[in-house]
Amino acid sequence: MDIKKRVYYLLEPGDDSGRGIDAFIIGLILLNIISLVLETVESVYSQAPGLFELFEDVSLVIFAAEYLFRLWSCSTLPQFSRPILGRLRYSSTPMALIDLIAILPLFLPMIGADLRIMRAIRLVRLLRILKLTRYSSAMRLLGRVVVASRNELTSIFLVLVLLLLIAASLMYFAESKVQPDKFSSIPATMWWGIATLTTVGYGDHYPVTGLGQFIASFIAILGIGMFALPTGILGAKFVEELKKDKEGSASQCPHCGKALDQL
């Protein structure tokens, strides 16, 4: 095995030879999330701001090196075998894009970004937790379920937006004359619509007229039914994906991973 293949399999999750590297990367991701959370606690951050900055810089270098090694060794796979086009194709894959986003703060000083923008984009570090998808079968399963349900979820989202617009419009015309400060416009009334459709009901905005209360009751009941739809769709897709996983594992050798019909 040449060095490029060796590097690829060391970085690829699931390979026995790279379990130590997998554990190191997972630990580093978790420490980055903890560091980001603790930075918002002024009493903790003020004790050692330089240590937080040093840890961030070291993490960026490690993640950047991991990304570059993956980009270099990906050509061992047939679909990425072409030196330039293959690597461009690999860099556009979801996991490679997540790896690139994780090291985005490394390039901010190079482009002379404004300090306020740098502080905002540094929150991109929170997205490093998505790198755990590469090492977690449960998160990969969740990703497949969401992708498989994208058409149904998009349709439900559009229906919810339409329902929100209708609810806000009806409530505006029912309550705007009685409560002009709370239901001053349809966009302002959408806050009430969101709180009602999600069954949260903060109580800061509520109808006082009979017509408004009737509309609110109908919208609240309808909101419960609308949010039950995504639950059923995702639940069904989870069952389908789990069944596929079981069927796939049953047709593979538990020792070498090859298809049983090839042995």
CATH 1.20.120.350 fits 3-135, yes or no: yes
| The pLDDT of residue 256 | 46
150-262 folds as: Helix Hairpins (1.10.287)
For the chain, which residues score pLDDT lower than 70?
Answer: 1, 13-18, 108-125, 201, 248-263
pLDDT single digits (tens) 185-240: 998 888 888 888 877 767 778 888 999 899 888 888 888 777 778 888 888 888 88
| The pLDDT of residue 105 | 74
Half-sphere exposure of 19 (CA within 13 A, CB side): 2
| The pLDDT of residue 51 | 93
Give the Cα separation of 87 and 81 in Å (integer): 8
Give the Cα separation of 6 and 3 in Å (integer): 5
**What phi and psi values does residue 37 have, to the nearest 5 degrees?**
-65, -45
Identify the three-state secondary structure at position 120: helix
Give the Cα separation of 185 and 244 in Å (integer): 50
Closest CA to 60 of 22, 20, 109, 17: 109
CA-angle at 52, arms to 44 and 41, nearest 5°: 25
Give me the residues paired with residue 93 across strands: none
Domain ranges, ordered by start, for the chain: 3-135, 150-262
Q: Which residues contact 233 (CB under 8 A, 6 or more apart)?
A: 149, 152, 153, 156
| The pLDDT of residue 69 | 92
**What phi and psi values does residue 74 have, to the nearest 5 degrees?**
-65, -20
Query: Which residue blocks in the chain are alpha helix, DSSP H?
Result: 3-11, 19-39, 42-45, 49-73, 85-91, 94-102, 115-121, 137-148, 150-175, 186-197, 210-250
CA dihedral 247, 250, 252, 254 (to 10 degrees): 140
User: What is the pTM assigned to this prediction?
Assistant: 0.65
Residue that the structure tokens 């992708």 belong to: 147
Instruction: Indicate the helix (H) or strand (E) that contains 251.
Output: none
